[in-house]
Amino acid sequence: MNLSKKAILVLEDGRTFHGASFGADGETFGEMVFNTSMTGYQEILTDPSYAGQIVCMTYPLIGNYGTNTEDTESRRPWVEGFVVREASTVASNWRSTETLDAYLKRNNIVGIEHIDTRALVRHIRDKGAMRAAVSSVDLDPESLLKKVLASPEMANRELASAVTAEKTFNFPAAQEQKFHVVAYDFGVKTNSLREFSKFGCKITVVPADTSADEVLALEPDGIFLSNGPGDPASMTKVVEQVKKLAETQTPIFGICLGHQLIGQVFGGETYKLKFGHRGGNQPIKDLTTGRVEITSHNHGFAVDAESLPADVEVTHINLNDNTVAGLRHKTLPVFSVQYHPESAPGPHDSEYLFERFIGLMENS
């Protein structure tokens, strides 16, 4: 990183933060969001759900343990930009192969440090997530603001097609194969595939635009709808295909964006949250058991509970704001959660959901 190289962050309401450049030199645009995780920055950088977004980490020192080749959750970083209070110049971990700064440079991700991230996060919490720019080449706030206002908004933006796999691929079972799961890749994370694999599932990962007929031709025991970026309301064609799949009585498990799509499949509506949920410390109550789990989240949209029909039951709620965090159909083998049970990064309280899906496939 170059502490003498200046950089600025400009929000669409004109609020400006001056700092130092790190990572790649240049300028970038996206929706300004924040993540409250204390660790796991490499998994966050490579989570495809962050496509179209500039991420601010609330924990003040990021990069302590460097980066490595094993903690990536997809084929490359997807964040549009990275904002931290202080980027560590030293990588202190035996697994580290590269500093965070070098990793961002190599992947052409623009970053800014030495800004007041607390002030930025308080502003976003007060005003809501909004478009922003980070630049180390254009340091004129007025010039950059004009570019921000010309950049696309997140509402009604379809991004799954930008991050999905180009072609179908297989992920083998880690033990004797018991089930075959077809996973829709809207931005799937590698740890989701590892979770299925360790329970004896072979996973066939298919692109986001795969039709219901193509999925059924693969003869799956179950179907997984992954996390992903963008506005779920923009994905009407995918919703139609999932609706056809649900009617076949094939077990379906959705997370994050997949959960929002399942809500729409059964007639529910989604809406944009003020600043979303992003981090590894969200308290979720399982209404079917009364158990509270601490969970990992990354989403800016939610399912409207009031819009769900009588044959869909809300199974989980977020205890911070009572938003819908899980649902299931009362007669079809379909359920979903708003969060990330693969926990990369995050606590492992939610692994039981993979076992619940295994149980559905066993009984179907």
Catalytic positions, please? 256, 340, 342
Q: How far apart are CA 358 and CA 156, in angstroms?
A: 34
- Taking the C-alpha atoms of residue 60 and residue 70, their distance in angstroms, rounded to an integer, is 24
Q: Is 249 left (phi over 0), alpha (psi -120 to 50) or beta?
A: left
CA–CA gap between residue 309 and residue 304 (Å, rounded): 11
Distance CA(304)–CA(301), nearest Å, equals: 10
Q: Which residue has the tokens 């924040």?
A: 34
DSSP label of 235:
-
CA angle 69, 73, 296 (to 5 degrees): 130
- Cβ–Cβ contacts within 10 Å for residue 233, how many? 19
Can you tell me the distance from the alpha carbon of 210 to that of 164, in angstroms, rounded to the nearest whole number? 11
Residue 187 dihedral angles phi and psi, to the nearest 5°: 145, 40
Report the SS3 class of residue 18.
Answer: strand
Sheet holding 179-185, edge to edge: 169-171, 201-207, 179-185, 222-225, 252-255, 334-337, 324-329, 312-318, 270-286, 292-303
Inter-residue contact 163 to 228 (CB < 8 Å) = yes
Q: Give the amino acid at 268.
A: G
How far apart, in whole angstroms, are the C-alpha atoms of residue 265 and residue 100? 40
Return the structure tokens found at 65: 């343990």
At position 288, the amino acid (one-letter code) is T
Tokens representing residue 126 in the block:
């007060």
